Structure formats: structure tokens, C-alpha cells
Structure 1
């Protein structure tokens, strides 16, 4: 069997009988969290303009756009708009194995296609989990090096997860499933150079859309090279430095869930994950000291190379760049003793005090004396009188080893939802989304969300 055929066979075998209770629990938390992320971004202008762009398309309009009650689109387009909304605030989860954001493409696609197909809640849960498991498999064994070549793995691995989820809902045969994954391989794209721009959100949205497209084309009879991955001119040859065949087969044979090993990251702050260790360190200092930010002379921040590479805006000029700026996030955390969803909204940075503090922060790659590979960050705050305050954080809140509590997950959802709906309705929606396995028609989920807005 080729790699694509093995992936298809494995994806088809995943169902509620093979999914552990622990995986089910985490998946349910993340799906609900993703709805919150969609709510947080649904009114941002790039999302609204994309929705209006697709409004003019003539197609079967049987999938809802969250937050726009009078608009229904083809599933491919609804998935794209909702995925953009879920990703645009950088609040969505991360798959450790894939070094990318799986849910942002997979969940909107199963929500849109599931609504069009009148799928049940359990069917979209199975499809969602399948999609994330395939994303994790691709990340672990096939594209571990692709991220460091500059590829945005949210898209290059995510398209396989989204395609697998869509193929699952469409009940494709194994041959059709294999072709769908082959088509997905030719559609895989996305570059990390787009971080800090809205192109990053567009490509995440397109990943959700293209997964449905690939599955539908396969259903229509389009074929693909079954060795689309390992062919000498295939995807692995052009976008990855290596393939761990032993790990690939080990994951499949042992049915190792990416939800559990190496796990999923659920974000506590609406910014690039590379800033989170620094934010936690800054908040820790703000909580344990009495200093005023006006009395700070300079700040030294020591971080991992990958964090500095991704968070490439030491002095951001606009809010979207601020999400990818360690100095700006540290400045906000110290000044406001917290990071809020609105900190990165708008077209201009208006917090002059935060920018003044940002200019005093120097970020340097970690050297000797640091634990390698843990993503840790050290912050040294030097006061005008020479006093130094030091804080190190190896693992940021939300990591699989330091998971958000149920109260923190609810607080995050409510923080977002209460900006656009009544708190009572937000609480009711949160509780409803806690168990969608008994929903008979996915359309009920979308209607429930939109009716509360």
C-alpha cells in the first residue's frame, strides 16, 4: 500500500467505538472553544468582506455563516468564512505534533458540510476527531521538518485533516478517500512568511474550503496518484526533509491519539503561541512585585529561536503585528496585568504607554544555562534604581502538561461571547455546546448559535 492508501484506510477505521473517552473529552472541549473563537472574530472586517465576496457566488446555498443570519453559502465557502473567523484572533488551539492549528480548518468544515448533509452531532464529532488525528499523523511522521523550511503547517498538514473529515462525512469509499487525499496533496500550501498579515487567515480559511473541495472532487470520480506523497516528485520530496516510516506505522498500529500524545495546546491569550511563555513570565512578575512600569529602565527577554522567528515584529506598527511581537505582548502584560481580546483589534495601535515600554524590551535567543527544546522564556526587568526582577517560565499555561481548567475554559468562552450577546444567552450556549453528541441534525447547532447573537 502507498502512504496515501494507508492513511485513507486508517481514517476510515476511526469511529466512536475506537475513540477513547479521554480523546472524546478533549475533542468536545476544543470544539466548544472553537465556536468561541469564531464568535470572537466573526465581526472583523476581513471576515465580513470575505463573506460578502462569496455572497455573489451562484451555488447550492445550504450552509450557514455564523454571525450573519441572512447568509447561506455552499459548504466550501461557509467553511472558509467560519475558519477565518476562528483563526483571525489567534485564540485557537494547536496540535503539538503538527506544530499548527488543526481545529481552525477541520471543525468549520465539518460544521458546514455536516449542516448541508443533515449529519448528526455524533457524525461530526467522529469526522472532527478523524480530521485532527490525520493532521497529527501527518505532522508527526511526514512533515516534522516542513515547518522549519517555512511552510505553515496549519495548511500543509491541515488540508489532509480537513479532507479526511469531509471524506468521512461524505462516506467515500476507500478508493475515493485515497483520491481525495491525493488531490489534497496537490492543493497543500501556506507560508509562515505571512504571519502578522491577513493572508495567514485567508490561507487557513482556504484550507477548510479545499478539504471539502478535494473530497467532493473525489466523489465525482476525479483520481490522483496514489503515491502523491512519496513519489520522487511528490509532496514529501518538495516540502519536507524527512519521513519517519517507523513512527508513521507505530502511530497507526497502536492507534495513538494526537489529542493525548503529544497532545493539544489550548490558548489562554489571543496571540501567537511563541509569546505565551513571555506573557506568563511578565504576568508573574506583575503579580509578585510592586513596581510601576514608568520606573522600568529596560527589559531583557531570552526566548527560543522558533519564538523569535515567528514573532518577527519587535516594534509592531499595527495591532495584527502586535500578536506576533514578544516585546509588545510583554509590555501589555506588565502594564495592564493581563492580555485581552481587544488588545490586538483595530487598524492602529493606540496604547502609547505600551509602545513606550515595548521600546525598552530587548529579545535575545536563549544561550547557555537554559533548558533546550522546552520553549522556555526568561525575563529580566531592570529598574531605574538598578533593582532587577527575574522570572522564568518553561511551560506556558494551556500546554498539554499544564492544561486550562474547566473554569478557565468557560471564562475564556464567556469573555468572548459576552462582547456580542447577553451573558445569560452566552452561558446557555456554552452549556448547549458541552454535549452535541445527542444532536440529531447539525443545523440545530448553527441555528442555536445564530439565534443567540
Structure 2
């Protein structure tokens, strides 16, 4: 009973987050979008489109494609990069999983020292998937309507994630699977034009659908969390549009989402509301340079700097020790990665890639590379260690340091840059982003197809029918 009382105490009895979210979704207009939010949103859309392509040939996605083709049904939307069309929720499951297949999609940012990084969601794929699928189902959705739906879902998803207490993640929930459901729902609801009770019922349906547990990190099911969030968000919107009922206050109260899954909320943050300060602007979003958990990125960059500046060859390395806090070491949990999925949550694997190839991209995060003799041997030279000094500094940033022992007896060491590459304070340039998209498409879409995809994404606001965008995910 004491646990229950503590949870209840964290959710104000009179909180009205559901009503506020519904009011925002219903009322927000394209004219309300800050110009800078549109600019960054366009970058996120371009990034997401590349990631849809990158995941399209992954085994986990092909299994879902086969399942979708066997089920069949109403031809609402294109099945990923195939000409076949399937019902909108099924198309969203496949597309959303593909977007998260490589764990390369962007990350929400927080400046709250108590808000550990793992709690933050991957904000783009759920609302982008829902917007692209619903644009095909509905037809005649132009670029501005599409951008509005995408940024609406992005904002709802990020605010709900930011307001929750860290217990949500620490107890084993995966935010991108849970909170991502609301991002997909809000985007779909915006395009469907849901209003009033039906809009609030949809939030209630989405709240009951929201799921995803961290034990599945390092397996095919981790990306499926995001695919299911996309599927469930669209399903919630379609059911609500038909009048399917749910609690109109499902985010709030002792039995609402925040209390049951979130461990409570921060009342002070809830006072910020939706769309007053757009999360995509403040505190911002991180577009990932590496296809793995963002918690590893500053350490990967540090390793790259150390081996490059000192020109360290793989054979010269005796051992590597990585010092970090529990905010990094607990979720990044594999001491030796035996496949590419585990490598996404393994510091020894990521740093071994840098030691061997001075790169950690799509090619390196493959079973062929991870399971190679050289990778397996290099991983065994790399150890992680809990650093109490780092732990004591808190979890407001991703702190780590590396010490490389060389076979000649010397040491090369350094601290990770807290202004990690890809984050709002050190963002990838547009040229770097385009290069990432091209690497996502390598071997899947030819040069001219890549050119069309990139150019169309940059000019998305000019599109008269965004459903055309789906056809660019495959070679013509």
C-alpha cells in the first residue's frame, strides 16, 4: 500500500493533462509553428526518411513484411518500400519498426539534472510514420498539413516524456514504445481532424495501448516497440473517429497513465503546457551520427579522437578502460556483443569498431563485422568501470573518460566532450545529415533516387500531396 500511496501523491488529483493535450491538438494551426521549428522539423523528417530505407532490408523488418502480406486487407498505405498496400495500422507497424531498426533515430533532449537520458524518447519516428501513413490513407494531404501533424505529434510525445518522473524508465519501461504511442496518435488525430470527446477518447485508447519493456533491448523486439507505438497510435485515432469510447482523462488521476506507468509527474513542468515553448526548439533534439544508443555517442567520439590524434593502430592497443556512471553502464549492458543488435548496447563493441575501422556506421553494426574474429578479440581488450567521481557529478550530461594502454607501456587518455556531436549545442550540419541519409540508402536506393529523396524532403512544404513521398522510399 505504501508504494501506491507514493504514486498517487505524485499525480495531482485535479491535473488536466489530457484536456490540455486534446485542446492543443485540436487548436494548433500551421501559422502557430515557429519558423525554426519548421526548419528543424524538416531536418528530422529527412533523417527519418533515410532511416526508413536503412531498416527496410533488415531481417526483423522482412519478417513483419511477410506477416503483413499474408494478412492483407484494405489497401490504405504502401507497405514500406513495396508497391503492395495494406491497412494503415499494419503499414505503420512495419514502417515504424524499420525506422528504429538500427537505433539511429533522433533523441529528445532534457536539461533537467534529475531527468536521466534513458527516460527520453526517440521523438521523430512515431509521428512521422503516422503522418506518412495517414497522408496515404486520406489522400490530398499537402506539405503544410503534413508538417503540422508531424510537429503536433512530436510536441505531445516529448512533453509527456519530459513531465514523467524517472521511475518510468528505471522500472523497466521503454519510453519510445510507451510515449511514442501518444506521438503517433496525436499526428494521426490531427490529420483526421478529431475534436472534442472523440479526441480525448483517443488519448484514452492510446494510454491503454502504450507498452514496451527494456528487457528486450538488444533484440528484434526493441525496434518493434516503436513499430507497435506507430500501429497503436493510428489504431487509437481510427477507433476514436468511429466513436469508440475511453476515459476522457486517461493521462490523469490515480489510475491514469502518469500514475500507473510514469511513477507520477512534475507539476511544475506540466504548467509549461503544450506548444508554449516547443520542445523541438528548447531544449531541442539530437540527430544521431551513430546507429546505436545515444548514451554511447560521446564516448565513441572520444575514442575516435584519441586513436586518430595519436594514430593508434589496432595492434598497438594492449587494453582500454572506459570510466562512466550508472546512467550509461546500466542500459549499455553487453560486455561482449555477439551480434549487431547487442552491439548497439555495448561500449566495448562500439569502441572496438573505432579501434579497428575508425568508423561505427551501418556496415560496422552488422553481424558480419561484429562476429568477426578481429571484433571479438578487440572487445575482450576493452573494459568498463563504474567511476564514483563521475557518478557523484549527476546525470545531467553523459560523462565518461577513456584510458588506452598501449603495448609499448604508454597511455593515451581523455574525457568525452559533454557537448556531444549531434546534440543541440553541437548539431550535425545539413551536409553531414545528407551524408548520413546517403549512407542509410547505400545499396538500397541508387544515386538518383537518393537525390530525389533528399531534394523532396528539403522542399516538403511545397508538396501538394505528401503520399507521393512514400514512393521515394524505393527505387523506381
Distance 2:388 2:224 in 1: 36
Aligned 8 A contact 1:2 1:226 in 2: no
1:354 match:
375
Distance 1:417 1:318 in 2: 22
Distance 1:96 1:280 in 2: 18
Distance 2:317 2:150 in 1: 47
* 1:185 pairs with 2:207: yes
Helix, strand or coil at the partner of 2:271:
helix
CA deviations on 1:392-418 (whole Å, 9 max, x unpaired) are: 112321111111111110111112223
* 1:161 pairs with 2:183: yes
Distance 1:209 1:194 in 2: 19
Q: 2:48 aligns with which of 26, 31, 34?
A: 34
Moved more, 386-395 or 422-431: 422-431
Moved more, 299-308 or 57-66: 57-66
How far did residue 206 of structure 1 move? 0.6
How far did residue 143 of structure 1 move? 4.8
How far did residue 347 of structure 1 move? 7.0
CA deviations on 1:160-212 (whole Å, 9 max, x unpaired) are: 11111111011011211111001111111111111100011112101000001
How far did residue 448 of structure 1 move? 3.3
1:57 match:
71
Distance 1:259 1:45 in 2: 32
Aligned 8 A contact 1:375 1:395 in 2: no
* 1:407 pairs with 2:421: no
Alignment of 1:217-232 (within 5 A): 217-232=239-254
Alignment of 1:101-250 (within 5 A): 101-118=122-139, 119-250=141-272
CA deviations on 1:374-428 (whole Å, 9 max, x unpaired) are: 1022110011222110121123211111111111101111122232222233123
2:28 match:
14
CA deviations on 1:96-145 (whole Å, 9 max, x unpaired) are: 25611121222111101111101222111111100010011101113543
Aligned 8 A contact 1:81 1:205 in 2: yes
Distance 2:173 2:470 in 1: 33
How far did residue 73 of structure 1 move? 0.8
Change (3 A) 1:187 1:369: closer
2:448 match:
424
Helix, strand or coil at the partner of 2:389:
coil
How far did residue 292 of structure 1 move? 2.1
Helix, strand or coil at the partner of 2:273:
helix
* 1:378 pairs with 2:404: no
1:324 match:
345
How far did residue 85 of structure 1 move? 0.8
How far did residue 270 of structure 1 move? 0.8
Distance 1:382 1:422 in 2: 43
Helix, strand or coil at the partner of 2:471:
helix
How far did residue 297 of structure 1 move? 1.6
Helix, strand or coil at the partner of 1:286:
helix
- TM score, norm. by length of structure 2: 0.91
Structure 1 segments unaligned to the other structure (5+ residues) = none
Distance 1:381 1:159 in 2: 42
Moved more, 197-206 or 362-371: 362-371
Distance 2:403 2:212 in 1: 36
Distance 1:60 1:386 in 2: 67
**Structure with more contact order per residue of length (Cα contacts < 8 Å, sep ≥ 6):** 2
Q: 2:276 aligns with which of 255, 258, 267?
A: 255
Distance 2:46 2:183 in 1: 19
Alignment of 1:264-275 (within 5 A): 264-275=285-296
Distance 1:159 1:167 in 2: 12
Q: 1:93 aligns with which of 85, 89, 106?
A: 106
Distance 2:99 2:43 in 1: 15
Structure 2 segments unaligned to the other structure (5+ residues) = 1-14, 111-118
Q: 1:392 aligns with which of 394, 398, 415?
A: 415
Moved more, 162-171 or 232-241: 232-241
Moved more, 277-286 or 243-252: 243-252
Aligned 8 A contact 1:376 1:395 in 2: no
Q: 1:311 aligns with which of 332, 336, 358?
A: 332
How far did residue 345 of structure 1 move? 2.2
Aligned 8 A contact 2:339 2:366 in 1: no
Distance 1:448 1:421 in 2: 9
How far did residue 58 of structure 1 move? 4.4
Change (3 A) 1:86 1:369: closer
Helix, strand or coil at the partner of 1:310:
coil
